[in-house]
Amino acid sequence: MYQLVKLGRLSSGFLHDLLNPLTALLCNLEQKKEMQEDLNTAFLITQKMRNFLISTKKQFSCGEKKEMFLINYEVEQVLEVLSYYIRKNKIEVEFKALKKIKLYGDPVKFSHAVLNIVSNAIDAYSFCEDSFKKIEIYLVKKNGKIMLCVRDFAKGVPVEVQNKIFKPFFTTKEQGIGIGLALVKNIIENDFNGNVYFKNNKGHGATFVVKIRG
């Protein structure tokens, strides 16, 4: 029974990770203006999907692709994949990194975690009518620890759901399946021996923080 539950959760996570890039791909292909830029983004998203499928196949065969990769590059690629959503929602995104930071592990999994966190920040503005929409992303390394922060200025995380948002299948979205942040927690903790948490900002919004020893 446990194996069936585990397989069910894995399948849900698999579908969720395909859904984000597929939706972004369709949205970009629907655009009629700036066709070359949209095709470039669609090509990038397709590459991301291919890499994800290869990574998933290796997991089923008990193999993983671990290597040194550049975190800055993975974050920039995620922002490119989500560029249509960002433009559509008129969100200003600022990515700050004082230097290039490398990490050892599976870059595809790390990219999935970042994509889900940033997507969550974008979705936070669907509950907010403020005209000011901004996401700040900070990447720093200090005292042997890498920290990636994603901050939005929406309404923050309600008190009544703060203990549930990292649990599988919990969602506050009408069309959500509650897998995104659960996948983030699983990837960061189990694949990178790190931790992920959030805090509501003073004033507006929330900040999600990923900490990994590197």
The token duo for 16 is: 């969720």
Check residue 213 and give its pLDDT: 93
In a domain? residue 27? no
Confidence of residue 25 (pLDDT cuts 50, 70, 90): low
The token duo for 26 is: 């369709």
Q: Which one has a higher pLDDT value, 25 or 5?
A: 25
Percent helix, strand, coil in the chain (nearest 5)? 50, 20, 30
Check residue 142 and give its pLDDT: 92
Check residue 108 and give its pLDDT: 84
197: domain range? 65-213
Cα-trace Rg, the chain = 17
* Mean pLDDT on 128-144: 90
In a domain? residue 141? yes
Check residue 80 and give its pLDDT: 85
- Provide the b/e sequence for 118-156 (b: ≥16 CB within 10 Å): bbbbbbbbeebeeeebbbbbbbebeeeebbbbbbbbbbb
Would you say residue 14 has pLDDT above 70? no
The token duo for 11 is: 């399948």
Number of domains in the chain: 1
Would you say residue 109 has pLDDT above 70? yes
Spatial CA neighbour of 122 closest among 88, 75, 164, 71: 88
* Mean pLDDT on 8-31: 51
Tell me, what CATH number does 188's domain have?
3.30.565.10
pLDDT digits over 32-71, tens only?
Answer: 445 556 666 666 666 666 666 655 555 555 556 789 999 9
In a domain? residue 80? yes
